[in-house]
Amino acid sequence: MTFARLIAPALAIIAVAGCAQVPSRVDPLEPMNRGLYQVHDVVDTNLIKPIAQAYVDVVPQLVRQGVSNVFNNIDDLFSAVNGLLQGKPDKAGDDLGRVMLNTLFGIGGLFDLATDLGIERGGEDFGQTFAVWGLPSGPYLFVPLVGPTTVRDGTGLLVRIGLGPVGYIPDVPLRNSLYGVGAVDLRAQALGAGELVDTAALDRYLFIRNAYLQRRNYLIHDGKPPRDPEDE
Amino acid sequence: MLRQTRPMRSVAALGLYVAMMFAVARPAWAQEAPDALVKRVSQDVLTTIKADPLIQAGNQARIREVIEAKLLPNFDFMRMTALAMGKNWRTASAEQQQRLAEEFKSLLVRTYSGALNQYRNETIEYKPLRANPGDTDVTVRTAVVKPGGTPVQIDYSMEKKAEGWKCYDVVVGGVSLVTNYRDEFNEQIRNGGIDGLVKTLSERNRGVAAK
């Protein structure tokens, strides 16, 4: 509900601007989303992507890997929580083991020893947990700066951000810097995928939407999604 | 056969034996198991790319040559295009189907060579094939492992045809490179018919940017 309130103003503005499009089951808000995608694309192309590219060009790979590892280590803890919420104790155990190993012996998560030892990341999040609990995905959404999501996944993301830990850091400049570094780290990791979309897509909005939805469906089913009858 | 004299029978047996030898030796190619095929072709492409100084220097045209020579013969582009088109495939004429398959092939080659260009020191893990001997449609599972990174699952959907196993879909981390196009193809067809889609595809292949 919070999420819907958050995007309601944007919805109102852009729904008006949207032209007639054939509505799809998964994306009833397509006209609005396309508008938001265009906003995102302008900001991303002119600001976010160049920053991420500069980050990759200037900061050595080893340091960038360390930054990713620290954020991943925190996410692994939440993955463990979500693994438990989904009734997957084995996966949760792996994630918890990863966090303990990497925090204690990997200098607070700077090094990812667990992956080197062959313990894979669970990669569970609140959006997947909601799905496993049977909540519907709700309409697809494209949120500028956040990217593709759904009402369900977006709510999961808000829950995740609400739980911190970065949000609980009292020092505001430090908190904002950490949010910034986290965002740049994520965007930098997606640079290669962005190049691929630019080459592959006929319509980047649709390409991203479908890839996102397929990917989420795959993750929700732990890599074994049911086959789409239309593909047979 | 059963009423032949003894020498004739041994000649026949020899003939049969020779025929069997040929049967085993000649279509070893066609009889190659789907997972063995995926492994052989991937390793071949990757070692070629690593060893080729032109490709290491970033020569895209050379990467495409390698893909066309080694990879493409193992794909069924008609089936891939049909899968990407969904219901619209049947509304296309044979000639349109041929052109669509050609253009879609070029698009996938461009995409694939771009992805291979990002390939550095990843290794490929080949998962054991879970299939029955009589199966004619199997999924070969692999994972691309980057040192210190999360592995990316790449699955190949393979169909057994008269000339051997052919790949008709590549699924990267759960995203099918083929069915991912269905909405985009539908949109093009809605706006400009089958010929509109052919036109858009050929424009993309000539380097015109997507919207």
The complex's ipTM works out to 0.76
CB contacts of A228 in chain B (<8 Å) are 179
B198 with B188: CB under 8 angstroms? Answer: no
Q: Is the pLDDT of residue A231 over 90?
A: no
CB contacts of A207 in chain B (<8 Å) are 180-181, 184
pTM of the model: 0.79
Q: What is the distance in angstroms between the CA of the first residue and the CA of the last residue of chain B?
A: 70
Tell me whether residues B175 and A225 touch, CB distance under 8 A: no
To the nearest 10°, report the CA torsion of B119, A125, A71, A65. Answer: -10
A199, A219, A228 ranked by CB distance to B111: nearest: A199
Tell me whether residues B174 and A198 touch, CB distance under 8 A: no
Predicted confidence at residue B168, as pLDDT, reads 92
Q: Any idea which of A15-19, A33-37, A67-71 has the lowest mean pLDDT? A: A15-19
A112, A116, A203 ranked by CB distance to B210: nearest: A203
Tell me whether residues B111 and A22 touch, CB distance under 8 A: no
Name which of B28, B65, B61, B30 is nearest B45 in CA terms: B65
| Separation between Cα atoms, residue A218 and residue A203, nearest integer Å | 22
Predicted confidence at residue B133, as pLDDT, reads 80
SS3 state at B48? helix
pLDDT, tens digit (0-9, with 9 covering 90-100), for B117-140: 776 678 888 988 888 888 888 999
pLDDT, tens digit (0-9, with 9 covering 90-100), for B137-176: 899 999 888 776 778 888 999 998 888 899 999 988 888 9
Q: What is the mean pLDDT of the segment spanning A9-31? A: 60
Other Cβ atoms within 10 Å of A89 Cβ, number:
12
pLDDT, tens digit (0-9, with 9 covering 90-100), for B67-96: 888 888 899 999 999 999 988 899 989 999
| Separation between Cα atoms, residue B139 and residue A215, nearest integer Å | 18
In terms of pLDDT, which residue wins out, A109 or A215?
A215
Name which of B133, B140, B179 is nearest B158 in CA terms: B140
Residue A60 gets the label, from left (phi > 0), alpha (psi -120 to 50) or beta, of: beta
Structural domain boundaries of chain B?
Answer: 6-205
Assigned superfamily of B6-205: Tgt2/MlaC (3.10.450.710)
Phi first, then psi: give them for residue B113, nearest 5 degrees: -70, -35
List beta partners, residue B17: none
* Sign, Cα dihedral of A227, B181, A13, A187: positive
pLDDT-above-90 percentage for chain B: 19
To the nearest 10°, report the CA torsion of B181, B183, B187, B189. Answer: 60
Helix, strand and coil percent figures for chain B, each rounded to 5: 60, 15, 25
Q: Any idea which of A33-47, A115-129, A165-179, B114-128 has the lowest mean pLDDT? A: B114-128
Of the residues A202, A206, A207, the best mutation for testing chain B's interface (the one with the most B CB atoms within 10 Å of its CB) is A202
pLDDT band (50, 70, 90) for residue B33: confident
B83 with A231: CB under 8 angstroms? Answer: yes
Q: Which residue has the tokens 């007639």?
A: A20
Nearest Cα of chain B lies from the Cα of A83 at a distance, in angstroms, of 18
SS3 state at B76? coil
Q: What is the mean pLDDT of the segment spanning A167-185? A: 84
Tell me whether residues B176 and A214 touch, CB distance under 8 A: yes
Contacts of residue B189, Cβ cutoff 8 Å, sequence gap at least 6 = B88, B196, B197
Name which of A103, A83, A105 is nearest A94 in CA terms: A83
CB contacts of A195 in chain B (<8 Å) are 114, 118
pLDDT band (50, 70, 90) for residue A3: very low
| Separation between Cα atoms, residue B73 and residue A91, nearest integer Å | 40
